Amino acid sequence: MNACIIAIDGPAGAGKSTVARKVAEKLGYLYLDTGAMYRVIALESIRQSVPLTDEALAALAKRTSIRFDLDGPGGNRVLSNGVDVTEAIRSPEVTRLVSQVAAVPGVRAEMVAQQQQIGRQKAVVLDGRDIGTVVFPEAEVKIFLTASVEERARRRWLEQTNKGQKASLEEISSDIAARDLADSTRETSPLRQADDAYLLDTSRLTPEEVVDAIIAYAKEHSHAV
């Protein structure tokens, strides 16, 4: 199969990770969760008590080795300096901090360089906030997933509740709205829909329906799929 880059962007809770993983599985592509990389840096900043300054966070990003173990239990395990942090990076504490960490130019530069190195090696599905606009503006297939704040908050609430975590729907909704604002107004690589991206509202769609829509669109817009 010829290499093709499928870039999936969108706000927090739009279902990017779940959908991107399933699209990659169906097409036999590599799945790269770029948002997880920023979460790793946020987690390490907490664990190592790193000051939340641009200089300190950029230095942390440079000395943090991030790897995806596609053959680990459950698949797509995220490792930070060799330690499995797949579950830890999804904690509410990390979620609240990740937008601030991701807005640091030095952190983004380091993460984007790693993403580009991985993505240019093979057929890949990437999801994040700036894949189609900054990381791979040349991607053949660009998708922008969105959903209402209420629906995204409900999904996040269910996810945390199913994991046995105490969760407040009102607090999650507030956090998502705040993160939307932070992501879309930051100076470095703000969240926005690429001009040539396909806008797909997932509010009333199941993950399977979203996956099918993306694959159908990809087949129409790329000879490599």
State the pLDDT at residue 188: 82
**Domain span including residue 215:** 5-219
Residue 2 has pLDDT above 70, yes or no: no
Is the residue at 225 inside a domain? no
In a domain, 152, yes or no: yes
More confident residue, 222 or 37: 37
Per-state percent for the chain, helix, strand, coil, to nearest 5: 50, 15, 35
Calpha distance 224→204 (Å, rounded): 30
Domains in the chain, number: 1
> Can you tell me the mean pLDDT for 98-114?
93
The number of angstroms, rounded, from the C-alpha of 147 to the middle of its chain's C-alpha atoms is 15
Q: What is the pLDDT of residues 43-90, one digit of tens each?
A: 999 999 999 999 999 999 999 999 888 665 555 789 999 999 999 999
Here the tokens at position 208 are 């399977």
**pTM summary value:** 0.79
Contact by Cβ (8 Å): 112, 126: no
Give domain status of residue 224, yes or no: no
Per the CB < 8 A criterion, the answer to whether 183 and 11 are in contact is yes
Tell me the angle at which helices 169-185 and 92-102 cross, rounded to the nearest 10 degrees. 10
Domain CATH code at residue 27? 3.40.50.300
Rg over alpha carbons for the chain, rounded to the nearest Å, is 17
**Residue 90 domain-assigned (yes or no):** yes
For residue 56, being part of any structural domain is answered with yes
| Beta bridge pairs of residue 127 | 8, 33
In a domain, 193, yes or no: yes
Residue 186: inside a domain, yes or no? yes
pLDDT at 1: 41
pLDDT tens for residues 168-225? 999 999 999 998 998 899 888 889 999 999 999 999 999 999 999 999 999 998 877 7
Mean pLDDT of the residues in the chain: 91
